[in-house]
């Protein structure tokens, strides 16, 4: 998208002017500059509710001006109570409206969206981020329908903020939105298209584009390394597994390395612990953790923060055949620990066990793993909250600040000594992979925790948040790209030594 700055309201010429309005708008700084151009009757229209000022209310009004065809008034409610999350969602709706109207160029009076807590530069990031995410369309394979191009070609902004600073902010928002949408595309791809091999190819292109060091290990290499957990999950498949490692190393030394570890199960039948006929539908999205990691690495590649980052993705599908692993099997993981298999549908934690072990071996000094791991997190927290576990509360608290900034809600669950005892309870192995249906989310993430040792670690179970069951302000039904923005924001905060 092309960004242009106009000096003031008087000089703008545009197809659509976008203006934020709120309760008691007449008291807002510089509002008189607007009414001087477009008339005092606007104040009366707001009082009469012909123009909506309630939060997320959109009112499109034609003008008699030859330079501005229409004005889209965007309701902000009580400006003093407006949150960044609400503003982002509002801009998502603005983006949808622009797409519906096929608007090719628009102008945002950014200063009209600023509040005491949201500066104009923040509003700029939120605007392009929200509109970019809100206009995302799910690609399809229909022979009779091509998705229309709904993207803006030109966005003009009006603000008192210095032009270079404002354009940089707009570009950051666009970068974030593009990365989220890239992750969404991956999640929405069918499992027969997005195989483990295809994920590896996607990662290779990303590495080539941004200059990341990359290693992609195939089945024979995983066998040589003794990665028995990933290989066990892969045994029933005709598709080869992949272990993908990307490294972004802007510093002189490979130290203080944050590792993102993503579950990349491209389709999950449940194995011999087979899923129900309704539960199996949608399992193409069981690689949402891998998609989040790849999206975050796209942002890191664009913005180049001064922080070492590693991405590790374990990818396979979980199929059923005469060769498939089964309950009562005992496997040996890359770490050397043995696992009794009690449930082949508890496969994601096995993939992550080898992946986090490899991340440690490759120099990770802190680890964040992401996975659509358990239905238990949905039972506990619903579809709008990501569940978390950690062995280092200070580490989690720092990451949580990033999630608060992005509006991606996380909730820390307990991992007790008794939970760990149940994970370690087996007559024939060091661990079992399914201690029970109670506390399912904790047992799933806690199993992964058995392989991180003392390395600071956060587990994020995105089973409820990775896929939207219906359209929402920031996107359509389908993959959400959750945690892409939080991962990248955490790295940017860490690189900038931000503290609240």
User: Where does residue 478 fall: left (phi above 0), alpha (psi -120 to 50 degrees), or beta otherwise?
Assistant: left
277 annotated to a ligand binding site: no
286 annotated to a ligand binding site: yes
369 annotated to a ligand binding site: no
284 is catalytic: no
Is residue 322 within 8 A of residue 418, CB to CB? The reply is no
The CA distance from 117 to 471, in Å, is 29
- Residue 479 neighbours by CB distance under 10 Å: 27
The CA distance from 283 to 251, in Å, is 39
Beta bridge partners of 216: 244
The CA distance from 216 to 115, in Å, is 47
268 annotated to a ligand binding site: yes
- Which of these is catalytic: 235, 349, 420, 485? 349
How is the beta sheet containing 2-6 ordered, strand by strand?
A: 2-6, 154-158, 105-109, 14-21, 68-75, 58-62
For tokens 């539960």, name the residue: 279
Q: Which of 316, 334, 318 is nearest to 326 (CA)?
A: 318
Structure token pair of residue 461: 């179970």
- Which of these is catalytic: 5, 70, 275, 424? 275
Q: Which of 407, 436, 401, 406 is nearest to 421 (CA)?
A: 436
Q: Which of 96, 183, 108 is nearest to 132 (CA)?
A: 96
The CA distance from 163 to 233, in Å, is 53
263 annotated to a ligand binding site: yes
60 is catalytic: no
Residue partners of 242: CB distance under 8 A and separation at least 6: 196, 197, 199, 200, 216, 217, 218, 264, 313, 314, 315, 316
Binding residues for Mn(2+): 263, 268, 286, 345, 347
Binding residues: 263, 268, 286, 345, 347
Q: List, by residue number, the catalytic residues.
A: 275, 349
């Amino acid at each position: 998208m092309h960004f242009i700055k106009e000096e003031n309201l008087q000089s703008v010429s545009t197809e659509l002017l976008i203006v934020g309005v709120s309760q008691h708008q007449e008291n807002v700084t510089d509002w008189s500059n607007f009414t001087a151009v477009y008339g005092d009757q606007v104040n009366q229209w707001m009082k009469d509710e012909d123009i909506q000022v309630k939060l997320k209310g959109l009112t499109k009004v034609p003008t008699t001006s030859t330079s501005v065809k229409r004005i889209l008034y965007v309701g902000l409610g009580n400006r003093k109570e407006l949150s960044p999350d609400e503003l982002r969602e509002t801009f998502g709706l603005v983006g949808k409206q622009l797409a519906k109207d096929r608007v090719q160029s628009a102008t945002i009076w950014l200063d009209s969206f600023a509040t005491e807590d949201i500066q104009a530069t923040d509003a700029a990031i939120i605007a392009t981020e929200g509109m970019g995410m809100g206009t995302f369309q799910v690609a399809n394979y229909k022979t009779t329908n091509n998705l229309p191009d709904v993207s803006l070609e030109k966005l003009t902004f009006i603000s008192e903020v210095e032009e270079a600073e404002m354009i940089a902010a707009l570009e950051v928002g666009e970068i974030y939105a593009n990365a989220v949408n890239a992750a969404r595309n991956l999640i929405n791809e069918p499992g027969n298209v997005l195989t483990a091999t295809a994920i590896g190819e996607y990662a290779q292109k990303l590495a080539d584009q941004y200059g990341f060091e990359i290693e992609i290990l195939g089945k024979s290499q995983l066998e040589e390394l003794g990665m028995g957990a990933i290989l066990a999950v892969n045994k029933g498949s005709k598709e080869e597994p992949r272990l993908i490692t990307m490294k972004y190393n802007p510093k002189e030394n490979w130290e203080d390395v944050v590792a993102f570890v993503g579950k990349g199960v491209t389709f999950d039948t449940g194995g011999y612990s087979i899923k129900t006929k309704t539960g199996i539908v949608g399992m193409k999205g069981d690689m949402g953790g891998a998609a989040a990691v790849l999206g975050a690495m796209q942002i890191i590649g664009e913005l180049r923060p001064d922080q070492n980052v590693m991405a590790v993705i374990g990818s396979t599908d979980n199929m059923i055949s005469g060769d498939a692993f089964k309950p009562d099997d005992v496997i040996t993981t890359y770490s050397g620990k043995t696992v009794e298999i009690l449930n082949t549908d508890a496969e994601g934690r096995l993939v992550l066990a080898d992946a986090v072990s490899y991340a440690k071996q490759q120099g990770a000094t802190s680890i964040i793993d992401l996975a659509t791991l358990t239905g238990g997190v949905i039972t506990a927290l619903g579809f709008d909250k990501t569940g978390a576990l950690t062995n280092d509360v200070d580490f989690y608290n720092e990451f949580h600040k990033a999630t608060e900034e992005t509006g991606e809600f996380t909730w820390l669950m307990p991992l007790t000594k008794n939970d760990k005892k149940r994970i370690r309870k087996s007559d024939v192995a060091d661990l079992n992979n399914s201690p029970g249906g109670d506390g399912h989310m904790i047992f799933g993430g806690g199993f992964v925790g058995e392989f991180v040792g003392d390395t600071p670690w956060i587990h994020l179970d995105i089973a409820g948040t990775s896929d939207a069951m219906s359209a929402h302000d920031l996107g359509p039904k389908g993959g959400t790209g959750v945690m892409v923005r939080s991962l990248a924001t955490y790295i940017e905060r860490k690189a900038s030594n931000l503290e609240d």
